[in-house]
A and B are shown apart, each in its own frame.
Chain A
Amino acid sequence: MNPQLILLIPVLPLLAFLANGLFGRWLGRAGGWLAVLCMGGSAVIGAVLFIGALGGRIALPVDVTLWQWLAVGDLSVRVGFHVDQLTCLMLFFVTLVSSLVFLYSMGYMEGDPGFNRFFAYMGLFDFSMLVLVLGDSLPVMFVGWEGVGLCSYLLIGYYLALPGAADAGKKAFIVNRIGDFGFLVAMCMLFKATGTLHIQTILGEAAAGANPLLRAGGAFVTALTLMLFLGCTGKSAQIPLFVWLPDAMAGPTPVSALIHAATMVTAGVYLMVRLSALFALAPATMLVVAIVAALTAFVAGSIALTQRDIKKVLAYSTVSQLGYMFLACGVGAFVAGIFHVFTHAFFKGLLFLGAGSVIHSAHHEQDLFNLGGLRRAMPKTAVTFFIACLAIAGIPPLAGFFSKDEILWQTFASGRLGLWVLGVVTALMTAIYSFRAYFLTFEGESRLEKAHGHGHGDAHGHGAVHESPATMTIPLILLAVGAVGAGFLNLPPLFLGGEGKEGVVSTFLEPVLAPAREIIAARAHMAAAGEAVHHGAGLEVGLMLFSIALAVAGLLLARHYALKAWPAAADRAAHRFGSLYQLSYHRWWWDDFYNLAVAGGLRGVARLATWFDRWIIDGILHTIGGLASLGSRALRGLQNGQVQSYALGFLVGVNVVVWLVLWF
């Protein structure tokens, strides 16, 4: 494949951005179609690249160096792209899911006054994400990283008139800045250690083990990877920085789908897998990652159980699923982590677009308690949403089953049983909250009329709920196909006939992840003195059946509470587990805690800083400024408009120069 074609992948969304941003006013609806076309083009190239690479027809890795960007002292940054197996996989699903979201937006955003602004932002968003994925050095990656942050800010705050939207956008931006700080510090540390910011060179040094600062288990590399992980917690919404993601719901629903499925939140996982060889050198960091991730999965899953806003449920679900991905990375199963990113993109994209479809036709009603019984009116949305729920809950053979079960199995196999228990409990909660959302929305009696009152609106387009247009249902159906089938790309060895056989994606990613695996294996080898822990296939089958049973139990529980005995049973349960219910419903008071402790503490510091700034800094500055002003006035005095005095000044200068030359 021609490397120039790879360049088109990020360039096409950029084109969509430029066309809609500059000429949106004249393009109108055509601008949206142009964006869809551009993104679709990217997706086609991404798919050709991925399939070609899978079949071995395209030799990887491909490096494309574009130009020298800056050279300061020892630091030299080239703008270049590195395409290896990991990049291909990312490019494939990012462009695919994005193009479907673009198509969907054609229906969802129809008639919105900011139609072209929306598509411009979306194009820039995807461009940034693709630069992040493709960049071959940390600064280039950081450009994408920041670009994604900026676009998320713009898109979350897209509804200018919505009161909470601007705040939510700001929150996302600020929380992400904290993470970015970690990324920047890590970048500086890497530069100190290796003298370069080129990712492949750094990974090579990490794998070679010759660099004294990158010694396995060393303090420097541990601090460095912890800083990187701080960056990941910002972008990928982990404890303690996950609070921005649920608020990001203020943006239009397709944006949520894009943020949660294809772009942005996957960036942290991608970064960790990309730099897996570094993380592998720091077992302490890996442990921290695993613990934080398992806790995030659990906490977010428990919050999702009781939320009333359908988008909030899905948002916490994303946080929880991201926890799974990091859990996998934390126990060294990077393939399982990235594969869950891959499958999650399909079913989470589907869930969000399905929710958007509901919101679109139910007059912007997002409260689950006011929905219900929509399956009859919108069968396509209901069926695809149900498929997504099956997938996320882990019912075989849908995508989520294979990817999530692999993570749980790897966690179990790593011997961290506490984390495994958290993971399993989260799996049960996943099934409950997703089916709860499904049943409350699509089954049972419609509560929409009751909530909105009768009789009004017949004349104002407040007609009956109806299925969304084809531009919206086609992406739903295509994503459903992905949610069903994506799991088969990486079947566990068990299904493939035993040890030694690996799934397609595992084999595919082997060249990228081999260094990390070897580092971890070497350490395990030393620790266990050659005694590899071996689990039988029987145990694996048993655990698998156990998690299927949990998923089915979750489905039945949700059905009982949300459908059969609604709302009496749910109320009873809420009362019986009063404090737990409150804990979950109020999101563990996490935001309130931040408001009180962090924001409050910061306010105190800010007050002190203001005082210092006003009296000390400003005092100094005003003095300097005053002096400069005085000097300026003095110069203006000299500048009296008289040619004679100008000539005099000139002569003074001549004298100074000549005497200087002669004296020294």
Chain B
Amino acid sequence: MEFSIEQILHSLRLTSPLLVLIFAAMAVLVADVLLPRAHRWTLALIGMAGIGLALVALYWARPPQPMDTNYLELAFGGTIQAGYLTFLAHNVILATGLFLILISPNYLAGRAVPHGEYYALLLLATLAMMALASSNELLTLFLNIELLSITLYILTGIEKNNLRSSEAGFKYFLLGSFAAAFLLLGIGFVYGATGQTRFDAIGQAIAAGRILNPAYLAIGVGLLMIGLGFKLTLAPFHMYAPDVYEGAPTPIAAAIATGSKVGGFVVFFNLMAIVAGWRDLPQGLWVALYAIVAASMVVGNVGAIVQPNLKRLLAYSSIAHSGYTLVPMVVLLRRPDLLAEARVAVAYYLLAYTLMTLLVFGVATTLGPLGEGRISHYAGLGRRSPALAMIMALALVSLVGVPPTVGFFGKLRLFSVAIEGDHIRLAVLGVLASVASAFYYLRVTVTMYMEEPSPEAGERLIPAEGVNFVILTVGAVGVFVFAVFPWLYLFAA
């Protein structure tokens, strides 16, 4: 393939946010070596500057305005793509990265975590999430997902003298490799069936009916669903999630739950959009995805009910929310004409889900060792730290999906697509699952406001000040702002 200078420059421009992040990660490592006795904020500040520059680069390379939901540009010979969903996902991921770096310094204080590696890996993970969302080719997809996984394996186990952290990292690594095998197998099948690895080329082949063996393609797509389903904690590939979330340092659990999933959702959506163009799509693929989505909503919500640990509860909650987010993609397989609606609905939910989940993780991180453990430790938080309890309650109410929060409008959009696309039963299941979720989310709220603090937690007032408080407040305001002004994020309505 021939590249002209223009093409290379164009490709570099589209990928400039990623390049900036690579340099930022290197800068953190170099600074760590050069300034061995640096203040704990120094490295975080370099990381923040990197993300800030990446945001600038993102806007430099932004899609033409006003944005079209079908906008698509390719880079580096079609291996990388920039589209509407990708652009919005990049925004969310960068904001997530910034959030995580901001809440980390206070969390890491007094823990045996090497700061340089931590921030560098966090930046690399952010880069990998973005790259994953940009993938437009099967092998690129695999490379990106591995880059993301490896950084997250290390970050999960980075707390060396904490056995749970190491155990979580190791489990994540073993099961992740297991899942990667299926992903590779799926890539092989799809390549074998279509002779293509680029998404757009596969899409053209499928649409034109140039399929060597429909059964291979169906199995290949099924295996890709499984491989990505592991990243997205879809049932029954979710089982690692509660253990890993519990063991990982809380900001890292937040990254696994939000940013890494955002990248995964985008790829999953792009793949399903391609497969939806298959004129005689095997019924089984739709049934399988339907089953996975329904199972995720049920398992996530049922599993969360008896969790005594907040991070495990959030793991199940994130399983359920993955189910919700995939509802439009199930619909898409039957109704490819709803592509634009489904894309906007998913794009909006990426933000909604990330925002709410980060707020809960953010409060848990701010509370330190007290916040990471049992839910009963939250008893009386309403009095001990009114501001944090308020933010937490707001995020939980939004996770339930109560208006006028982003959680409500996000679910409204997702389930509207299902209803428009004649998947009423799936929508009803989703709504019922949300109703059930009110039980365990509100249980935390009840604990915070209506139960007396346990003796071990004590009556101690927890000051909610500093950076954590400011950024959590900003996020809490966002829960309302993005609910009322969705176009602030979606640009095109």
Residues on A facing B (Cβ under 8 Å): 67-70, 72-73, 625, 628-629, 631-633, 635-636, 638-639, 641, 643, 645-647, 649-650, 652-654, 656-658, 660-664
Contacts and interface: CB of A to CB of B under 8 A. Distances in A.
A632 B303 contact: yes
Nearest to A644: B174
B173 to A, nearest CB: 10
28 contacts: A70-B409, A70-B412, A72-B412, A72-B416, A73-B416, A73-B419, A628-B436, A629-B305, A629-B306, A631-B302, A632-B303, A632-B304, A632-B305, A635-B299, A639-B239, A639-B242, A646-B171, A646-B240, A649-B237, A650-B179, A654-B182, A656-B291, A660-B287, A660-B288, A661-B221, A662-B218, A662-B284, A664-B287
B268 to A, nearest CB: 14
Interface string B283-322: 1110110011000000100111111000000000000000
Contacts, number: 101
A657 B235 CA distance: 11
For the side of the interface on B, what is the size category? Answer: 35 or more
A18 to B, nearest CB: 11
Contact of B306 (A70, A632, A649): A632
Nearest to B440: A632
A650 B237 contact: yes
A629 B304 CA distance: 10
- Tell me the interface secondary structure of chain A in the complex: helix
Nearest to B485: A67
Given A635-B302, A647-B175, A658 B409 contact: no
A628 B485 contact: no
**Residue among B226, B236, B285 with most chain A CB within 10 A:** B236
Nearest to B416: A72
Interface in B408-436: 409, 412, 416, 419, 436
B243 interface: yes
Nearest to B484: A69
B219 interface: yes
Nearest to B315: A639
B409 to A, nearest CB: 7
Contacts of B223: 654, 657-658
B71 interface: no
Contacts of B230: 650
B219 A658 contact: yes
B281 to A, nearest CB: 10
Nearest to B242: A639
A648 B474 CA distance: 43
A653 B236 contact: yes
Nearest to B284: A664
A649 B239 contact: yes
B59 interface: no
B407 interface: no
A68 B488 CA distance: 12
B292 A628 contact: no
B5 to A, nearest CB: 43
A650 B236 contact: yes
Contacts of A661: 218-219, 221-222, 282, 284-285, 288
A647 B237 contact: no
B303 A657 contact: no
B487 interface: yes
B353 to A, nearest CB: 19
A472 B235 CA distance: 67
B143 interface: no
Contacts of B283: 664
Contacts of A663: 284
A636 B303 contact: yes
